Amino acid sequence: MANSKKKDSPGTIARNKKARFDYHIEDKFEAGLVLLGWEVKSLRAGKCQLVDSFIFMKNEEAWLLNAHITPLKEASTHVIAEPTRYRKLLLNKRELGKILGRTQQEGMSCVPLSLYWKDNKVKCEIAIVRGKKDFDKRETEKDRDWERSKQRIVREHVKQ
């Protein structure tokens, strides 16, 4: 039991753990994702990475950039697969307006937090974020270490 890690929910494809460490999350949204057939097959195999990806607003549309979906050799034989292409996010006008307004503010940005399955569709959890300072990151590390120490102490106390 000591080696058990925090499990993702069954529908989770990929998480951006770095985003939660580097940013303060202000607001979250759920967006649909426009994908090609080979990308869906790769996502079913879990071949996705969200590190260093971000959301870009252009012509009142949201686009996911630098999300790396590795093509499967069996699934992308007849197309030229581009792993880091721009992928359109499907949001309603009100959500797009909120995101556009908030990201125009000083120090605010928009990043993806995770990709997951909802029924048979791929959804992207995106967040409006504010960057953390170095001392905030150190504080987060201290909190994590303290939580681990508390769990260790409780576990040892229960054994006795």
C-beta separation of 88 from 61 below 8 A: yes
Yes or no: is domain 12-132 CATH 1.10.20.10? no
C-beta separation of 118 from 11 below 8 A: yes
Which of 65, 16, 12 is closest to 43 using CA atoms?
12
Quickly count: other Cβ atoms within 10 Å of residue 128's Cβ: 21
Token couple for 6: 């925090």
pLDDT (0 to 100) of residue 9: 67
pLDDT tens sequence for the chain (160 residues):
344 445 566 788 989 888 888 888 899 999 999 998 888 888 888 888 888 888 988 888 999 999 888 888 776 667 777 788 889 999 999 999 999 988 888 888 899 999 999 988 999 999 999 887 777 778 888 888 899 998 988 888 887 7
